[in-house]
Amino acid sequence: MTLVVAALLGSAYVLGRSLVPDQSQRHATGATTNADGPHYADQPSGGEPTAVPSASGSASPQARPAEAGQDGTGRDAGDDKLFGAHATTGSPRLALTFDDGPDPRYTPQVLATLREFDVRATFCVVGENAQDHPDLIQAIVNDGHTLCNHSWHHDVGLGARSADAIRADLLRTNAAIRAAVPNAPIVWYRQPGGAWTYPVVSVARQLGMTPLHWSVDPSDWELPGAGKITATVLTQAEPGSVVLLHDAGGDRQGTVDALRRILPDLIARFQLEALPTDPT
């Protein structure tokens, strides 16, 4: 009798465990979540590009992330990889860009540091985060920074979807931004992961947004530490650079700490700008 009861209890335990979802499982949106908010798993990669599944499940060669150059920045990527997306400012000025926000922990720290050094930047915001934190979108605009559409939920595979699906995603993101700041211009679009395709570039342009890539990538999303982030940016920055940083999507304290080290040097060497709201 004892063995029978033990067996029944063991079976009930296994069944119960099978019904509990794995909290660490990656969501279909490309983000994992915890108490701190969404953590985006699909970040730029300096390695070999891999095909992104299309809506039908097949891999689309046009949906591969932009291939990084020898130095890992993407600056040697040919225009055929970027489909015409801007990778520089087109002037001697340097632009700092912050992706994946806004985030209630890190975005205010980034804004405070930029304010302290009187620097304007460009924030590529994710629609779901803009919807959740409209006060931070307002703070970004009130400080004179430029807004950039970064898709609804950081969908690296968005460029492999239909034009209608891409348009709906970008319009949904713009609507969330404009719910917070109705009159703020949104004239830039950055594809998550740098996974540019002709359709996503075409739709962005049809909606009045200029595709925005980058030329300096310290891979801060890999959490290399403030020292390495600082060294990479200061070594690779040059006139016209677009620097890719992140104020959300994971633990960004290293980026926040690096920013304070980076700004004095960049200010001494370059004129820093928020990307213009009339890029044409």
246 catalytic residue (yes or no)? yes
Bridge partners (DSSP) of residue 38 are: 33
Choice among 39, 150, 153, 246 that is catalytic: 246
The answer to the question of residue 21 being in a domain is no
Q: Which two tokens stand for residue 169?
A: 């995603």
Q: What is the pLDDT of residue 36?
A: 56
C-alpha angle 24/25/26, rounded to 5°?
115
Residue 138, class by beta-carbon neighbours within 10 Å (0-12 exposed, 13-18 middle, 19+ buried)? middle
Residue 14 makes CB contacts below 8 A (sequence gap 6+) with none
Tell me the C-alpha distance between 233 and 168, whole Å.
Answer: 35
Domain-located, residue 144: yes
pLDDT at 81: 87
- Position 280 scores a pLDDT of 58
- Specify the CATH number for the domain of residue 99: 3.20.20.370
Question: Buried (b) or exposed (e) across 203-232, using 16+ Cβ within 10 A?
Answer: bbeebebbbbbbbbbbbbbeebebebbbbb
Chain centroid to Cα 71, Å, comes to 20
For residue 118, being part of any structural domain is answered with yes
Q: How many domains does the chain have?
A: 1
- Does residue 9 fall inside a structural domain? no
- Where in the sequence is the domain holding 242, given as residue range(s)? 80-280
- Residues ≥6 apart with Cβ < 8 Å to 110: 98, 247, 255, 256, 259
Q: What is the pLDDT of residue 141?
A: 98
> Does residue 256 lie in a domain region?
yes
CA distance 235 to 237: 6
- The pLDDT value given to residue 220: 97
Q: How far apart are CA 99 and CA 122, in angstroms?
A: 9
Check 99, 155, 220, 247 and give the catalytic one.
Answer: 99
Residue 152 resides in a domain = yes
Assess if residue 32 is contained within a domain.
no
Low-confidence residues in the chain, pLDDT < 70: 1-37, 39, 41-80, 279-280
Distance of alpha carbon 191 from alpha carbon 97, whole angstroms: 13
- Is 227 contained in some domain? yes
Active site residue 27: no
